[in-house]
Each structure stands twice: as structure tokens, then as C-alpha cells.
Structure 1
């Protein structure tokens, strides 16, 4: 059976901590590939100044191109609407019954896991893989396999703020992503 990691998120923008988490899970779990999966409309955080779904998808593709075992999962972007992991994983497991999915989440998401939509059913569809994140406890009663990874205290919010203030993001986002952000004038870089 093929083992596929999924790292979902807004990727607004994708940054090096996302890539580190995905890469560490790839090696720790001996996965066949890791798919970065941007939300169409995230259920938690939407702001009018954010990049569009298409722009976030394109940036995520640029970030994934850096690593041969990374791809981008287009399901949520193509499906549109608010993204709930349960609905997405139910669809993906039906489309790819030969795949065993490993859903990679940060410690902040582990702390909120009990509140996820249809979480009990979701735990039957995927294996949750937790990566500690600075500022989170990373605790839940639900089954989560925790892996060690270098901790990088980064957030897309901090990166957007840096870009808006005209500060550099070198080594924080992949060069192709930064180039795209500046070309598109995203996050106040106009």
C-alpha cells in the first residue's frame, strides 16, 4: 500500500517551516510522497487582504518544486468552498483506496484536534502525525503519532507582516515564492 503524507493549510504564504515539517514526516515515516494541500476557503482564518486561493496554490506549487518527493494536492482548491478535513479525506480515500494517508499537523492543531469537524470519523480515515510547534502543548486524547523535527518559530502571519513592513524574508520563504509574491504585489509589496 502506498503511504502518502498530507500537510494541509492556508499556505498564505508557504514557508520553510512547512517544508521542514513535511520533509521530517517523509523520512520519519518512510512515506512514498508528501502532498502539500492548500485550503480553498479555510474554516478558521480569512482576511480580505490575503492571497487568493489560486495564488496560494501557485505559491505552494513553487515551494513543492524544491523537493522531489513533494507534490501539491489540488482537491480542496478544485472543490472550492470551506475546507473541512473530514470531507476532503473521505473523498480522497474513496478516490485512492490503495493509499494510506498520514495527516501531518503542528502542535497548535493537535491542541485543537478535539474540536475538528467529525474528528472521530476522521481518525478512522487517516493516521495523524504531530510535529511539535513553538508555543503549543501538542496534547490530545486522540491517536496522534508524534515525530521529532527541528522547531522553527515561523508563521505565515509574521511573514505577511514582514513583507508589508518592507523587511526581508530571505531564507524564510523559498526564493521562487518570494519572487512570485513581489511580482504579484502580495502582502503590501507593491
Structure 2
């Protein structure tokens, strides 16, 4: 029986953690071939600033060049364009392979929301799942620790192996992973930090030669004014108690920050979506990273030197982030005379 792996993702950019996952899973499961599949558009993530899908494809090819004996970079999702749904890609592999032969590789963080994927029921009937655990991840202790939608499909549960009623299985694999995320790599690249611990030399060189992940400073020349302008827009849109801080005197990941609140989690998500849209329209940039947009309890938009926090107001009172910024300068908000200029 032929055993293949399907490893999809944004690969923005492909880093040593991705590569180590492929190597370890191939080794332990004795896979004959792994198909690495860059997504054109991840339907579960917000758009962020970065290379085009075609450029991410090229980066992935460069990163996997030394492993082409057992790795094939599949272009189909890039060529298909639009949202990249795993179920559609899986259907193309079922034309050549049986469900027993196909092993879908995904990380533990992705697995936690697997039951929100389009037609996930079809996937668990037609592919085995291989879930890799990164440093710090806990394996499921019981059936309650796996996504709720998957629980009815469990025939037998073991901490490292789950048999499914579909005659497929879920296997958990601990990997010798590089403890890094693509978000962290992008941040380091844009701030000029060293990344040789996280990227292969060919990938780092390709990024440098093609001037990818450049700082946003060229598009946002004055972050102080940019921060105040964004705070005003959020306030005018109905954000509660909107404040902007200059944190350049503090040891903080960003030089400036904004905090505002919505009246509900839905309102918070809408405020975050609004400011992203305005910034894209006026400055031509997406955030470098987005967290919490779907839940809306605490949405974080990372624009490099500016980080925007949009809370559901109840959660804002719970976390009290402003207490951490007391030593910074309040540039916009209640008590700042120029805030209404």
C-alpha cells in the first residue's frame, strides 16, 4: 500500500518548523511522498500584509528543494485561486489514491478548530489525520479534549491514537520542532532581526533578493500621526473610551498602541474590520498579523510599530491593559486637549 501525506498551509513564509514536521512525519509513518500544498487564501485567517500567493508558492519551492526526493510542492490551490478548502483538494487526490493511503498532516493548533472546516465530515471519511504537536502543546487526555464535532466519530480513544467509526484514524505525533511561528518570523524580518535559526539559507536569501517582508515604514512614514488618526477613526465609528499611547519609553513590542471597546463581541469584530478596511483603503497595507477576529472578545491588529487592541468592553475591564502603559504618553483620549482637534 502506498502511503502519502498532504501538508497544506499558508507557508508565509515556510520555516524550519514546517520542514521539520515534514521530515519527522515522513520518517515515523514511513510515507512514500508528502505533497506540500500552499493555500491561495486561507478561509480561516484574516488577510495580512505580505507576499502574493504566487510568491509564497515560490518561497515554498525554494524551501523544499533539498527534499524533493520525497516532497512534491503542489500548485493546485494557487492555480485554483479563491478560498482554499481542504475538502476540494482532497477530492483531487482521491482520484488517484484510496482513503486508506491518504494522511492529512496538520498542527495541534489547527486541529483544535477542525470541526469548523468545510465538509469536515467528508474529510474524516476519506483521509487519516496526522496531528503534530509543537513544543508546549498538550496531547488530548480524553475525548473531551478533541473538537466537539469529531466526538461522534470516535470508535476507540487512546492518547496518541484515535480510531474513527469511518474506518480512518487520527494519530498524534510529537515532533522535534523548531519553536517558532510564521507570525514571529514575519515580525523579525520586518524589524531587521536575525532569522537564521528559523529559516533555511535559500529561503532567507530568496526573501532578501526579492525584497519581501519589508518594513511598513515606507507606506506609513509617521507612526505617531498614523496612530492618532486610527484612534480618531475608531472613536468616530463608536469605539468606547478610545485611547492611543506613545510607548517609546517602555520595553514593549510596539512603539504605539491603541485600545478601544465594542458593546458586544460582534461589535468589537466589526470595529476591527472597519479600521482594517480604512487602513487598507488609505495606506494600501494589511496588518502583519490578526488575532481573535472571529471571537471578538479581544481582537489584536499588528501594524508593526502600532498594535491595535479592540475589546468587548467587559473583557477590557477584566484585562486592564492600560495599567501596563501608565508610564507611556497618552496621545489621544479623554483628558488630551488635542484629541478633538
Assess same fold via TM > 0.5. yes
Q: Which residue number corresponds to residue 41 of structure 1? A: 41
Secondary structure, aligned partner of 1:42: coil
User: Which deviations, in whole Å up to 9, do the C-alpha atoms of 1:101-153 show, x marking residues without a partner?
Assistant: 21111110121112221111111111100111245445424642112211332
Task: Compare 156-165 and 143-152 and name the one that shifted more.
Answer: 143-152
| 1-structure distance, mates of 2:4, 2:10 | 19
CA contact (8 A) 1:130 1:138 kept: no
Q: Structure 1 CA distance, aligned partners of 2:136 and 2:89?
A: 28
Q: Does 1:57 align with 2:50?
A: no
Are residues 27 and 35 of structure 1, via their aligned partners in 2, closer, same or farther at CA, if it must alter by over 3 Å?
same
Aligned counterpart, 1:110: 111
- Aligned counterpart, 1:144: 170
So what's the TM-score if we normalise by structure 2?
0.52
In the alignment, structure 1 segments of 5+ residues that lack a partner are none
Q: In structure 1, the residue corresponding to 2:106 is in which secondary structure?
A: strand
Say if 2:8 and 2:105, in contact at 8 Å, map to a contact too: yes
Residues of 2 paired with 1:180 and 1:119: CA distance?
A: 36
CA contact (8 A) 1:11 1:60 kept: yes
Q: Distance in 2 between matches of 1:35 and 1:106?
A: 16
1:186 aligns with 2:217: no
- d(CA) in 2 for partners of 1:91, 1:151: 30
Shift of 1:10: 0.2
Match of 1:15 in 2: 15
Q: How many residues get paired?
A: 189
Larger radius of gyration: 2
Deviations 1:69-116 (A, max 9, x none): 12201111111110111111012212x236822111111012111222
Q: 1:48 to 1:29 in 2, by over 3 A?
A: closer
Q: SS state of the match for residue 187, structure 1?
A: coil
Q: Distance in 2 between matches of 1:110 and 1:120?
A: 14
Q: 1:28 to 1:153 in 2, by over 3 A?
A: same
SS of alignment partner, residue 171 of structure 1: coil
Range with greater deviation from structure 2 (44-53 or 17-26): 44-53
Pair 1:129-2:130 in alignment: yes
Structure-2 separation of matches of 1:10 and 1:123 = 22
User: SS where residue 172 of structure 2 aligns?
Assistant: strand
Residues 39 and 53, structure 1, Cα contact 8 Å, conserved in 2: yes
Shift of the 119–137 alpha-carbon distance from structure 1 to 2, 3 Å rule, reads farther
